[in-house]
Amino acid sequence: MTQLEHAKKGNITSEMKIVSQQEKVKEGDLIERIARGEVIIPKNLRRSDLSVVGIGKGLRTKINTNIGTSPDLADIKYEIEKLKIAEKVGTDTVMDLSTGGDLDKIRRTIIKETHLPLGTVPIYQAAVESIAEEGNITRMNPDKIFEVIERQAEDGVDFMTVHCGLTLSSLERLKKEGRIDNIVSRGGAFLTTWMVFNERENPLYEQFDRLLELARKYDVTLSLGDGLRPGCIADSTDRAQIQELIILGELAQRALDAGVQVMIEGPGHIPFKEIEANILLEKKLCHNAPFYVLGPVVTDIAPGYDHITSAIGGSYAASVGADFLCYVTPGEHLRLPTIEDVREGVIAARIAAHVGDLSKNIKDAAEWDLKMAKSREKRNWKEQIDLSIDPEFARKMRDESKPKFKDVCTMCGEFCALKLVEKALKGEKPLILA
Amino acid sequence: MTQLEHAKKGNITSEMKIVSQQEKVKEGDLIERIARGEVIIPKNLRRSDLSVVGIGKGLRTKINTNIGTSPDLADIKYEIEKLKIAEKVGTDTVMDLSTGGDLDKIRRTIIKETHLPLGTVPIYQAAVESIAEEGNITRMNPDKIFEVIERQAEDGVDFMTVHCGLTLSSLERLKKEGRIDNIVSRGGAFLTTWMVFNERENPLYEQFDRLLELARKYDVTLSLGDGLRPGCIADSTDRAQIQELIILGELAQRALDAGVQVMIEGPGHIPFKEIEANILLEKKLCHNAPFYVLGPVVTDIAPGYDHITSAIGGSYAASVGADFLCYVTPGEHLRLPTIEDVREGVIAARIAAHVGDLSKNIKDAAEWDLKMAKSREKRNWKEQIDLSIDPEFARKMRDESKPKFKDVCTMCGEFCALKLVEKALKGEKPLILA
């Protein structure tokens, strides 16, 4: 039985117990939220030794790290290094988005190497194998998609992105809309190519029940992908995007009815002022299914800094209800991320998630800031460093610039405001004497 | 006459003409906004060869870069290097916050080296000189403050931070409030120390007319400083902060009446969900005087990444009406910024300002994103790099990871979504063939 089926029956699973304790949410509340489809616990029934993670309403905002090869850079060791740094700096989940090299081997190595929930986008492998076997993506047999999904499920993949809402009718809407950047989703692009040349409906939509059956068998959480997410500010919140979201909402309901855990993927490139409306729309159209957003990236003009543009959008999105943030690295729009790109991307996403948690009044979120504020007042530098989101990096920065007095920093030196005022308010003469 | 006095008379100055052209705002509208105190043009009457910058309602959001020595690190050449990198990556103004070394020499060197509007915090120099001359900040003669202000004005300083709202009564409110981090403003700390030990009112408040007279003489824009800005999330939007803001609003009105240009400085550490209320309060209490915010920094837990925490806060603040963003560097809370810290801080602040400009519908802001979106669709990499907020950095990132096909990047290689879909929608067979 899936976590959802258990919750519907009122059963508490060991995974629910863990999430309840981690998040300090009452077991009964958690079960209800899972049963309503507002919270998911992505864990393949075949997976053991998993660091269980709950995603959704009232829980800490989680973040995901994408790793994986491309045709241009297919080095499995390099990707494992990315996995390790992402784990070290605190990602909650990992997705293997490989499209280059031996895809089965890469995925199985990643599963062996991590205790974190693992996600994939099976259409990538279905497309890559079809190209290798049939000569072209357009010749892909729909059965190939489901065969790959089952192969990946058997390996223990916990959640899968499936672009089920990219239908012939949504593609028609896309064409009528007249976008600047039509489709920026790789999975969406593979499916579009196939659909256009075969003049056939998206198999993931047409055979959604078949997908549900597979997902239910392994308790694979479906991450309903947004193949039509806007790829630039000019295309944001357009008819094509919202059409796809409506369809995803319908499919999420079918998944919920079938006992299959589900979340919804969201944009993408969205200007700051449209973020709140986008979150509201997802929550309404998809009946509060957990929302998994990519960024949002709030401006197109900062390649090299898209960990920042997406931390801005992610902070806002999480503040108003997004549940799960996909990291974006500085390399986005420029290259496959490097190890350092991954590190910076994870930290930026964690900052955004925490900013959201402060807005959502998530348990212990404000407590963390309070501890830091108190150690600043005490000018306890060891504690400040230990409390930092990236202690190693904060320590390095401080060590590179040593102050004359150990209780301050080189920004103000002896003129430290906190130190001056502490003395003044105590009535002690300031130390600064000629 | 000051820019404000000219505007009140309906005169158009050459500076106003420049701002009108830069911002594509009608001259008449601009004059009215300046006359109402909603827009400022910080330019000392003694300053020549200035890159004129307008700040306020309906204009592009501007950013400021703080440079300057500390007692622990007083290297004038290093600070000039910071100035140069800040100019190169696009700061609009610069503030010299030096507190170490020969302060007159440093300031004069910076003025000689830059065409950008320059700001200072004269209480720093008044305090440092009083310590040197009198042995202690508590022995500072109030006349010293005004003497330093005039000395700096004579040098051509365009705007000055003056913490006039930090009064004995606001300090009482601070004590009653019971903060975690009492005062994090260096100027606020100098003044508080002096006020507490002398049991006397803040000279910048008590002798505000004297300050106005000096400011008017040189057309120095007053930046009414927030000595009581919150220094941590737990202290945000408290009675002490808002009390000071009320007083600043009253003083801004007096400045406006006296023909002195004025802006208001704002926090500081503010959680995301309180930013909109903070901007609204400033606009109401200070009658739409331009708002100059430091960040806001939306969480305390990310030392080493405070360019990101403040880009998040700055994006929101600018989106809802902040006019001028003071950059925060990765080094904030850890050290005097390095040259690389300055570069990253400026870029992050520029991103935030642009995000705000998209929200504010500032002329040409969305056009920039649209150009980028179009060059992405065309996969014109030269254009994408040239359009980037930091072309040099974007070029470096791409060059470090060369794709096999020149029209894509190593993220997706031949599986580039834009490329696949462009062909599919044109009815061309995809190139991917075995």
Residue-level pLDDT, tens digit, chain A, 434 residues: 999 999 999 999 999 999 999 999 999 999 999 999 999 999 999 999 999 999 999 999 999 999 999 999 999 999 999 999 999 999 999 999 999 999 999 999 999 999 999 999 999 999 999 999 999 999 999 999 999 999 999 999 999 999 999 999 999 999 999 999 999 999 999 999 999 999 999 999 999 999 999 999 999 999 999 999 999 999 999 999 999 999 999 999 999 999 999 999 999 999 999 999 999 999 999 999 999 999 999 999 999 999 999 999 999 999 999 999 999 999 999 999 999 999 999 999 999 999 999 999 998 999 999 999 999 999 999 999 999 999 999 999 999 999 999 999 999 999 999 999 999 998 887 766 54
> Please, what is the average pLDDT of chain A?
97
Say whether B418 and A332 touch across the interface (CB within 8 A): no
Q: Which of B329, B358, B387 represents a domain boundary (last residue)?
A: B358
Say whether A413 and B72 touch across the interface (CB within 8 A): yes
pLDDT in tens, A82-136: 999 999 999 999 999 999 999 999 999 999 999 999 999 999 999 999 999 999 9
* A347 CB burial (10 A radius; 0-12, 13-18, 19+): buried
CA distance A259 to chain B (A): 33
Domain shared by A323 and A408, yes or no: no
Give contacts of B99 with chain A, Cβ < 8 Å.
412-413, 415
Domain range for B400: 365-433
Q: Which of B333, B358, B383 represents a domain boundary (last residue)?
A: B358
The strand pairing partners of A208, in sequence order, are none
Preferred mutation among A355, A367, A382, A433 to probe B, highest tally of B CBs within 10 A? A355
Domain shared by A312 and A403, yes or no: no
Say whether B181 and A373 touch across the interface (CB within 8 A): yes
The token pair at B54 is 């307008």
Q: Between residues 94 and 123 of chain B, which touch chain A (CB distance below 8 Å)?
A: 99-100
Domain shared by B15 and B122, yes or no: yes
Domain shared by B392 and B292, yes or no: no
Give contacts of A369 with chain B, Cβ < 8 Å.
232-234, 299-301
The token pair at A111 is 């599963």
Say whether A304 and B394 touch across the interface (CB within 8 A): yes
Q: Would you call B415 an interface residue with chain A, using a CB distance cutoff of 8 Å?
A: yes
Q: Which of A310, A330, A358 represents a domain boundary (last residue)?
A: A358
Domain shared by A354 and A376, yes or no: no
Domain shared by B294 and B385, yes or no: no
Chain centroid to CA A349: 9
Query: What is residue B427's predicted lDDT score, i.e. its pLDDT?
Result: 84
Q: How many CB pairs under 8 A join A and B?
A: 410
**How wide is the angle at C-alpha B202 spanned by C-alphas B130 and B332, nearest 5°?**
70
pTM more than 0.95? yes
Residue B255 per-residue DSSP state:
H
Query: What is residue A427's predicted lDDT score, i.e. its pLDDT?
Result: 84
**Total domain count for chain B?**
2
Instruction: Report ipTM (2 d.p.).
Output: 0.97
Domain shared by B187 and B205, yes or no: yes
CA distance B95 to chain A (A): 15
B315 vs A83, A272, A332, B61, B319, CA distance in Å?
A: 31, 8, 20, 10, 6
Give contacts of A331 with chain B, Cβ < 8 Å.
397, 401, 411
Domain shared by A354 and A370, yes or no: no
Residue A269 per-residue DSSP state:
B
Rounded to whole angstroms, the Cα distance separating B80 from B345 reads 16
Say whether B434 and A135 touch across the interface (CB within 8 A): yes
Domain shared by A312 and A408, yes or no: no
Domain shared by B144 and B68, yes or no: yes
CA distance B89 to chain A (A): 13
Domain shared by A52 and A14, yes or no: yes
* A155-182 per-residue burial string, b: 16 or more CB within 10 A, e: under 16: bbbbbbbbbbbbbeebbebbeeeebbbb
Q: Would you call B237 an interface residue with chain A, using a CB distance cutoff of 8 Å?
A: no
Phi, psi for B136 (deg, rounded to 5): -165, 145
Domain shared by A287 and A391, yes or no: no
Dihedral over Cα of B281, B285, B291, B297: its sign: negative
Q: Between residues 5 and 44 of chain B, which touch chain A (CB distance below 8 Å)?
A: none
Write the CATH number for A179. Answer: 3.20.20.540
The token pair at A331 is 């390399």
Rounded to whole angstroms, the Cα distance separating A229 from A240 reads 8
CA distance A304 to chain B (A): 5
